[in-house]
Structure 1
Amino acid sequence: MARVISITSGKGGVGKTTITANLGTSLACLEQKVCLIDADFGLRNLDIPLGLSSRLNYDISDFISGSCDLQQVTVKDKRLPNLSLISCSMDADHHYDPELFRDVIQYIGQDYDYVLIDSPAGIENGFRNAAHAADEAIIVTTPNRTALQDADRVIGLLGDLIPTSPQLIVNMADDPSDPSLSIEQIINVLNIGLIGLVQLDLEIMRSVAKGTPIALDPELESGQRFRHIARNIVNNLQESYPPEKTKKKHKSIFSFSKGIRWRQSNSM
């Protein structure tokens, strides 16, 4: 049975969908069998950073209604055969009973190691359905005070929906346009485990436009970071913070100026 993880934020625009696409890609590169579920009914876009938009013929609503079978609704990535996408309807009026949605996700998860649910922004029904269907949650925030406030509220709500403590990914961690919050402040406010940082990177934006997840390229720093976070997920590890003192003169490839220590690991 798969580990079902809801990737959520509270606030829109923090890069949650791009994070989901690249984490799924990274887990697949680690030889895990992964299914990505777009749960943002009416505003689906997880297919865009994956480059799979042209291959969407059915969505999860068709499967739930019995209009198609699971094989028909599942789009396999040709670059990584162990990575699949199940999209949602563009009809925002679709509302499902949380228990039904959870049963469907559990049924899908029988064939995978990981199911990542791209939760819609906000704290309405879509967020609650995605959380209720999951066993774990990853919170995505940026160093923005509004994003942090929304993330903190989501963490409080998740306490009643998911039995395990959520994990944290800070996106655009070095955004020079919004330097108001340090990583230490973010961790102190949210008080959950940090599993990784993603820096502001134009290459990530270009990869989304091309429909080619940056995690496919281990030569790029952001590609390495996503694979590193995926390894943390697989191994149930967190980032050390504050960083441990070391006598080494050179930082590892995963170190950065704020002082987060990224563990050494071989790129695939």
Structure 2
Amino acid sequence: MEQNPLVEIGLPIALFVIMVGIGLTLTTGDFRREARTPRGAVVGSLAQLLVMPALGFAIAALLGLPPALAVGLVIVAACPGGTSSNLITFLARANVALSIVLTVVASVVTIVTLPLFANVALGRQPVGTDVSVSVPLGRTITLLVGIVLVPVVLGMLVRRRAPARAAALERRVSAFGAAVLVVLIAGIALSLRDRFFELLAQAGPATLLLNLAGLAVGWLAARGAGLRPADRLAVAIELGIKNSTLGILIAVNVLRSEEIAVPAAVYGLLMYLSAAVLVVVGRRAAGMRVEPATKG
């Protein structure tokens, strides 16, 4: 399953720029607030690391998926969010600091949990491979540091030293992020063009159900924990927007199976379509929240 060069090369660079822009909207106080009231981080992390893989198993059984697709669905369900979830949270005007905390926590813990759930799925659904799954530790940490932590810190430093300049740049990065979202959808669709409808038929219903279930579980769990709307949306996005590239990497490079990679590939497309809806809804809700203060 070939990667589109635009996505493979251009995406990391674009995400670095976007994460700098996200840092322009943050202060150390945002992260201190999350540390003082960690309900969102705890609820979101538990839902991400435990509930989502369970949903993967349940949906695979409910729809009677073939073994390879069932394993692939569990793998993508167990994948953490990534920089894309931070981007969507930023564009939707949700709690970006919480999103970054959830991304970092899930990405680190996933090094243990993803192989666990993937190997359980392989045991339940034999697909003709005796290879055990592992998450690339070095690559995961490099991505976290290079595309999440470093650019966010750079943006925060700019905001601290030049707040007015940071505000102006943030608006430009927001527009750039929206453009990247459109390019992502087009790029992934292009990379799947030869088998687009075949893949949708094979894994579309299962991945769409997993995506919508993740968004619903995230919102409801955060609501049950008494979190505010911006936090609820951040948790929902973190559960619904997955690092599907990691799922493809494990399926193709570790398990040597393009069929197992199908759910991650399809999820990587469909999640951006639901994400676009979330961005519109989130921005409208944010506008409604600030309107009374503006009038006052």
* Common fold: TM-score over 0.5: no
TM-score category by the smaller chain? under 0.3
Q: TM-score, with normalisation over the residues of structure 1?
A: 0.26
| Bigger-Rg structure (1/2) | 2
Q: TM-score, with normalisation over the residues of structure 2?
A: 0.24
